[in-house]
Amino acid sequence: MSVFMSFYTMVDGLFVSNLIGTEALSAINLTAPVIQLVTAISTMLATGGSAVIMKKMGEQKLREAREDFTFLILVNVVVGVVMWGTGYLVTGSMFGRMGLSEAVTGYCVEYLNGYLLFTVPILLMNNFTLYMIASEKAGLSLVCSVAGGVLNLVLDYVLIRICSMGIRGAAVATGLGYSVTGVAGLVVFSRRDSLLHFVKPAVRPGVLASAAGNGCSEMATALVTGIVTLMFNWTMLHYVGEQGGAAITIIMYVLMLASSLYTGYSYGVAPMISYYYGEGNREKLRKLVKISMKVTGVIALVSVAGSLAVTRPLVAVFARPDNPVYDLAVTGNRICTAALLFIGFNIFASGMFTALSNGVVSAVLAFSRSFVFMVAAMAVLPAVFGVTGIWLATPAAELMAFGMAGGVMVRYRRRYGYW
């Protein structure tokens, strides 16, 4: 499911770069920090809320879990409306101050305004994806993700080429693709035969605080990703110009696709980890973590080999070989591929501690990986190696995070009994 969701953004880039141009592709990357803010809030409520609710399910507090579930979904709707309104107020002035060309600025505003129309469905999609898994409907969630991806693919062509909506059409296509899971979730969770379903909500501020605390690491990861993307954009604009923004976009698509394999697996096992933890079943917890380490290692090796093998044809899908963006992206992808060896373990470690309701440890891991180590690498490496240093920053940060995550997992192994 996570892989198909990552296709939404990649498909936008594919159609935008080929039907509009690389300037529009740069605009998609420049709007990424704002989009990551929306993702950060929804991820926090989804992962943190799922951990709290599934722990109560494991403790057989079914009625209370359903009340909390309904309450948290309503919170998502309110937060989505507030973010949508705020976004429209600040979008124009935000990009007008970045010193971009008039064309790129226009693309940024147009794309983001179209995307923000679907803030509420996007928040619901992220939540319902996890709650469907928790309700033993992972197959349905997969179907929704695939259907949304296909709808996005079709609408991208229809809205950009046939309806001449330009980059706004790409944003609307993505929003409608996300909405498939949101609509399906409203239908599924309205039925009483679902393990989780809507009931009269109980307003428990402590539940919201607990969900936010548990999910703060995932929120930090998404939020800091936006901040780091902004840093990448500014650094690349300094060294290369707007063409560098397009190159970064292509590299991020590759990393996002590979990372989605790890994120999807972590999301998939998180409800089980929370359940076994609430049940006190350490034997099953140990077995699940052991299997997860093996799965993560296999994905790492396969993704590295695959990324190196298809670098040139993959980049060529977004930029022609005679385009300056092409050589930048090819070089960058080959260097950044090294990060795929460590990303999976780092993502799983953070997600596991969230599922164990230890939001503090998870947040420290996520924040160190996504911000502290990345900022340190971005501050030093480009100054020493130039553009090559920009590409080296991600592998360097992930390697440092890998060492930290390994140490933390060893430290807490007896407390939770996963080893």
At 124-158, the pLDDT tens digits run 988 888 888 777 787 888 898 888 888 988 998 99
Q: Enter the DSSP assignment of 337.
A: G
Q: Enter the DSSP assignment of 162.
A: I
pLDDT (0 to 100) of residue 133? 79
- Cα end-to-end distance, the chain, whole Å: 28
Tokens 């999910």 correspond to 215
pLDDT (0 to 100) of residue 242? 65
Q: pLDDT-derived band of residue 221, with 50, 70 and 90 as boundaries?
A: low
Tokens 């995550």 correspond to 405
For the residues 381-386, what does the mean pLDDT come to?
90
Asked whether 184 and 155 are in contact (CB, 8 A), the reply is no
Q: Could you give the residue ranges of the DSSP H alpha helices within 189-241? A: 205-239
Rounded-to-10 torsion of CA 262, 268, 270, 272? -140
pLDDT of 247 over the 90 cut: no
Q: Could you give the residue ranges of the DSSP H alpha helices within 97-204? A: 102-116, 119-134, 138-157, 167-188
Give the Cα separation of 97 and 93 in Å (integer).
7
pTM for the full predicted model: 0.69
Q: pLDDT-derived band of residue 3, with 50, 70 and 90 as boundaries?
A: confident
pLDDT of 262 over the 80 cut: yes
Task: Kindly state the percentage of the chain with pLDDT values over 90.
Answer: 21
For the residues 37-47, what does the mean pLDDT come to?
81
Q: pLDDT-derived band of residue 217, with 50, 70 and 90 as boundaries?
A: low
Q: Could you give the residue ranges of the DSSP H alpha helices within 319-386? A: 324-336, 340-355, 359-367, 373-385
Q: pLDDT-derived band of residue 406, with 50, 70 and 90 as boundaries?
A: very high
pLDDT of 42 over the 90 cut: no
pLDDT of 172 over the 90 cut: yes
pLDDT of 67 over the 80 cut: yes
For the residues 316-341, what does the mean pLDDT come to?
87
| Tokens linked to 28 | 């998609």
Highest mean pLDDT among 30-44, 95-109, 280-294, 313-327: 280-294
Tell which wins on pLDDT, 339 or 257.
339
pLDDT of 187 over the 80 cut: yes
Give the Cα separation of 6 and 28 in Å (integer).
14
Instruction: Please give the mean pLDDT across all residues of the chain.
Output: 84
pLDDT (0 to 100) of residue 89? 81
Give the Cα separation of 254 and 29 in Å (integer).
13
pLDDT of 397 over the 90 cut: yes
Give the Cα separation of 14 and 263 in Å (integer).
23
Tell which wins on pLDDT, 9 or 388.
388
pLDDT (0 to 100) of residue 253? 77
pLDDT (0 to 100) of residue 184? 93
| Tokens linked to 303 | 């993704």
pLDDT of 229 over the 80 cut: no
Query: Could you report the per-residue pLDDT of 285-304, keeping only the tens digit for each?
Result: 999 999 999 999 998 999 89
pLDDT (0 to 100) of residue 290? 92
pLDDT (0 to 100) of residue 377? 92
pLDDT (0 to 100) of residue 409? 92
For the residues 18-38, what does the mean pLDDT come to?
80
Residues 6+ away with beta carbon under 8 Å from 275: 54, 55, 57, 58
Q: pLDDT-derived band of residue 405, with 50, 70 and 90 as boundaries?
A: very high
Q: Enter the DSSP assignment of 61.
A: -
Q: pLDDT-derived band of residue 90, with 50, 70 and 90 as boundaries?
A: confident
3-state helix, strand, coil in the chain (%, to 5): 85, 0, 15
| Tokens linked to 231 | 């840093």
Q: pLDDT-derived band of residue 225, with 50, 70 and 90 as boundaries?
A: low
pLDDT of 351 over the 70 cut: yes
For the residues 248-267, what does the mean pLDDT come to?
80
CA angle centred on 220, ends 408 and 178, rounded to 5°? 125
Tell which wins on pLDDT, 326 or 403.
403
Task: Kindly state the percentage of the chain with pLDDT values over 70.
Answer: 94
pLDDT (0 to 100) of residue 61? 84
